[in-house]
């Protein structure tokens, strides 16, 4: 069974139709890249998967491990293993990063019937994962993302992902805002998580990221649908030719 | 009493007049001050919404009746007070216990007073002309709640900290309501912190949820030149209580003064705070956090009066309003003509957790000097849905996500408390409030 199966998904926001009958299958162990022009609906898809309330699903179905994902609250989806690395991670002043991470991890564990982690065990896991991503301990003491640079926020998203060990990782332009070295560190972080029972949906505008995180499949999202699917070479083709042909293809 | 001026007396006003006539002879000392204060009350009556300062807290409507003056606590009442203030064990303060408004030395920790510290009963001190001279004069006011307090005050404490004395332990004034028959309590305290002294005074007011009582408490605090004083008042009265508090503070030059008002509990709370800056070069932080639920009503009314210049004052008040509760903040900054270089900024933020909750905010600036930096800001709004979604998307259930955000919101004010043990205790109070909510 596929890990994620999206069938004929229609989504609107504030009465505006954004996803128009999107079909997508992501297999366990797969890295699927999604590319597409600005405003085509990539972040919308990511948010719908995570369960953001503003998005209204008017038609279609999303199955996660065969289960109706859309029936679950966002925290339940997270506990089942859905993770969204936000395109624009938010700052939460007054909530210390460590508190945030511990609350999230323990809430998920509790929901899965696992025991809470002890403080030393938790700290060790965080410091290990943070060290690998080049995140200073001082940053973990601050409020969530408060005063973090754009690149630091993205690293923090990957830190959360590493810690929460999700089944489906949706990365929404995690490469934007990263310098060349950070791109490498973050990509290595993602690659370390690749596993047979885990899948990735990598949303990006740039072939460059896909040199580091090599996808099994590339989808082109245009005007709210998957307009084409191909192998990793499709990303190179898009880089050379742009999206003009897909925009027309869907329009006609 | 002038019948033409105020023809209709409420039941509460009538009861107060009767109580004063019947019991004034037994009240300790200050007879002429009491008479004058009571006249002030009778002329004005209980403050109501057409009195500008009481616009949002109509005491005449909220105070349906005046409870009889509390009797001296008996053995049963004292037994109930054994663990009063225990929630603040982490503070390791010197307990000074008032039960139903009466100072109880046996329950207080008066052993080995630090040099320069003196603690006395107000009931005993009120007859002392030196005390009578000071009382009511720290920050003089014609406020009716203060007048009522002056008329009826039964006891309280007189605390003196000598020049340069540095108290190593906080003083913890515990005002405990023992329950029993419905009663009203009037306490008056006077704290005078000498030049260059260091003191922290914590006041906690508590009573059981089922108790039916009214509290009118007042504290006059003098912060000497170069002194460093923290005053923290925790209003954790029982759910049925009506609590009116007046705090009059005169701050000297080059002092440090930190005030914190924590309010959770009681049906109706009015916290009035009159702070006057008498000397230059003082730095003050005046903060507060209020947590309300159900039909609770809490009003914080602050006047920061800059008589001397060159002081820095920061006022930050946060309120979390759930259910049908109502949070009121009135804040006035006055800068007198000679108080140049005053830097006084005030912010009041309300977090509305329900559609029915209401926040009222009235900031005022009265500035008579030209070279000052003063300002105020006030906001009221719900929790940010996008932030909540971020937390939920990480697996944190909605209620817990809200709790984290509420703690962060209140924490911004609580973090201003220097004493770590007290800070943690108040954070626990917030957590307990949140737990009760969910
Ligand atoms: N809350 C909203 N209200 C109205 N329109 C919205 C809202 N959110 C998104 N949209 C619109 O939906 C469309 C798709 O937006 P989305 O963010 O999914 O695009 P995207 O593919 O992620 O673009 P980008 O590459 O720029 O990140 C855009 O036209 C956007 O303006
Ligand atoms: Mg996007």
* B192 burial type by CB count under 10 A (0-12 exposed, 13-18 middle, 19+ buried): buried
**Beta-carbon separation of A79 and B391 below 8 A:** no
**Number of residues in chain B:** 438
Contact at 8 Å (CB) between B156 and B122?
yes
What does the pLDDT read at residue B6?
Answer: 56
What does the pLDDT read at residue A251?
Answer: 43
Mean pLDDT for all residues in chain A: 93
Candidates A12, A14, A16: which one to mutate for ligand 1, based on the most atoms within 8 Å of Cβ? A16
Question: In whole angstroms, what is the distance from residue B354 CA to residue B332 CA?
Answer: 28
Contact at 8 Å (CB) between B220 and B138?
yes
Per-residue pLDDT tens, chain B, 438 aa: give them.
Answer: 444 555 589 999 999 999 999 999 999 999 999 999 999 999 999 999 999 999 999 999 999 999 999 999 999 999 999 999 999 999 999 999 999 999 999 999 999 999 999 999 999 999 899 998 899 999 999 999 999 999 999 999 999 999 999 999 999 999 999 998 999 999 999 999 999 999 999 999 999 888 999 999 999 999 999 999 999 999 999 999 999 999 999 999 999 999 999 999 899 999 999 999 999 999 999 999 999 999 999 999 999 999 999 999 999 999 999 999 999 999 999 999 999 999 999 999 999 999 999 999 999 999 999 999 999 999 999 999 999 999 999 999 999 999 999 999 999 999 989 899 999 999 999 999 999 987
How many contacts (CB atoms, under 8 Å) link A and B? 75
**Beta-carbon separation of A99 and B385 below 8 A:** no
**Beta-carbon separation of A94 and B411 below 8 A:** yes
Could you tell me the residue ranges of all domains in chain B?
A: 30-279, 383-438
Q: Report the chain B residue with the minimal C-alpha distance to residue A87.
A: B390
Residue position matching structure tokens 């919308």: A44
pLDDT digit string (tens) for A64-118?
A: 999 999 999 999 999 999 999 999 999 999 999 999 999 999 999 999 999 999 9
The pTM (predicted TM-score) of the whole model is: 0.92
What does the pLDDT read at residue B7?
Answer: 56
Q: Can you spell out the DSSP letters for B240-285?
A: T-EEEEEEEEEE-TT-EEEEEEEEE--SEEEEEEEEEE-STT-EEE
**Beta-carbon separation of A51 and B393 below 8 A:** yes
Q: Determine phi and psi for B374, rounding to 5 degrees.
A: -135, 150
Residue position matching structure tokens 């259930």: B397
Chain B residues 375-434 with a CB less than 8 Å from chain A: 385-387, 389-398, 400-401, 404-405, 407-409, 411-412
Question: In whole angstroms, what is the distance from residue A74 CA to residue B85 CA?
Answer: 42
User: Taking 60 as the threshold, does the pLDDT of residue A194 lie above it?
Assistant: yes
Enter the ipTM. 0.95
Question: In whole angstroms, what is the distance from residue A218 CA to residue A33 CA?
Answer: 5
Contact at 8 Å (CB) between A133 and A158?
yes
- Please check whether residue A74 touches B, CB under 8 A: yes
Over residues A152-172, mean pLDDT: 96
pLDDT digit string (tens) for A1-34?
A: 899 999 999 999 999 999 999 999 999 999 999 9
């Amino acid at each position: 069974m596929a890990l994620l199966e999206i069938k004929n998904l229609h989504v609107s926001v504030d009465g505006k139709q954004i996803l128009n009958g999107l079909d997508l299958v992501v297999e366990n162990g797969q890295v699927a890249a999604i590319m597409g022009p600005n405003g085509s609906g990539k972040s919308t898809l990511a948010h719908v998967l995570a369960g953001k309330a503003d998005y209204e699903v008017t038609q279609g179905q999303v199955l996660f491990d065969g289960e109706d994902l859309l029936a679950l609250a966002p925290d339940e989806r997270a506990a089942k293993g859905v993770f969204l690395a936000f395109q624009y991670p938010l700052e939460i002043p007054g909530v210390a990063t460590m508190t945030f991470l511990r609350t999230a991890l323990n809430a998920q564990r509790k929901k899965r019937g696992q025991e809470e982690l002890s403080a030393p065990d938790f700290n060790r896991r965080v410091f290990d994962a943070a060290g690998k991503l080049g995140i200073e301990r001082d940053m973990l003491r601050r409020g969530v993302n408060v005063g973090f640079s754009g690149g630091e926020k993205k690293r923090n998203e990957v830190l959360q992902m590493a810690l929460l060990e999700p089944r489906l990782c949706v990365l929404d332009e995690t490469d934007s805002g990263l310098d060349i070295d950070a791109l490498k560190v973050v990509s290595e972080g993602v690659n370390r998580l690749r596993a047979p029972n885990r899948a990735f949906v990598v949303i990006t505008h740039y072939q460059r990221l896909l040199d580091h995180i090599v996808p099994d499949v590339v989808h082109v999202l245009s005007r709210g649908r998957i307009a084409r699917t191909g192998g990793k070479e499709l990303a190179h083709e898009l880089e050379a030719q742009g999206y003009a042909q897909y925009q027309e293809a869907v329009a006609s | 009493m002038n019948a033409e001026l105020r023809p209709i007396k409420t039941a509460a006003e009538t009861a107060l007049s009767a109580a004063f006539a019947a019991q004034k002879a037994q009240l300790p000392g200050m007879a002429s001050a009491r008479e004058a204060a009571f006249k002030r009350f009778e002329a004005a009556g209980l403050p109501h919404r057409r009195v500008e300062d009481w616009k949002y807290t109509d005491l005449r409507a909220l105070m349906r009746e005046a409870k009889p003056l509390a009797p001296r606590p008996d053995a049963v009442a004292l037994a109930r007070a054994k663990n009063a203030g225990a929630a603040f064990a982490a503070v390791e303060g010197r307990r000074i216990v008032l039960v139903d408004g009466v100072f109880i030395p046996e329950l207080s920790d008066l052993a080995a007073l630090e040099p320069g510290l003196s603690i006395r009963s107000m009931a005993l001190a009120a007859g002392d002309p030196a005390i009578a001279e000071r009382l009511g004069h720290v920050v003089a006011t014609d406020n009716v709640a203060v007048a009522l307090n002056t008329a009826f005050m039964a006891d309280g404490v007189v605390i003196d900290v000598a020049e340069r004395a540095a108290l190593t332990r906080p003083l913890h004034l515990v005002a405990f309501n023992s329950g029993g028959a419905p009663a009203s309590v009037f306490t008056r305290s006077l704290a005078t912190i000498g030049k260059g002294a260091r003191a922290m005074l914590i006041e906690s007011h508590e009573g059981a949820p089922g108790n039916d009582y009214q509290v009118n408490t007042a504290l006059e605090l003098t912060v000497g030149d170069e002194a460093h004083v923290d005053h923290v008042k925790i209003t954790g009265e029982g759910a049925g209580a009506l609590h009116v508090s007046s705090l009059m503070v005169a701050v000297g030059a080059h002092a440090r003064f930190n005030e914190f008002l924590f309010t959770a509990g009681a049906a109706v709370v009015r916290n009035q705070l009159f702070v006057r800056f008498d000397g230059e070069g003082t730095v003050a932080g005046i903060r507060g956090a209020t947590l309300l639920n159900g039909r609770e009503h809490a009003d914080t009314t602050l006047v920061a009066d800059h008589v001397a210049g060159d002081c820095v004052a920061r006022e930050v008040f946060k309120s979390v309003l759930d259910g049908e509760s109502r949070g009121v903040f009135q804040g006035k900054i006055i800068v007198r003509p000679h108080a140049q270089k005053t830097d006084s900024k005030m912010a009041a933020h309300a977090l509305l957790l329900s559609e029915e909750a209401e926040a009222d905010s009235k900031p005022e600036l009265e500035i008579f000097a030209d070279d000052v930096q003063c300002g105020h800001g006030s906001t009221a709004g719900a929790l940010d849905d996008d932030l909540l979604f971020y937390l939920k998307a990480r697996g944190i259930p909605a209620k817990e996500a809200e709790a984290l955000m509420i703690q962060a919101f209140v924490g911004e004010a609580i973090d201003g408390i220097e004493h770590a043990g007290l800070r943690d205790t108040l954070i626990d109070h917030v957590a307990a409030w949140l737990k009760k909510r969910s």
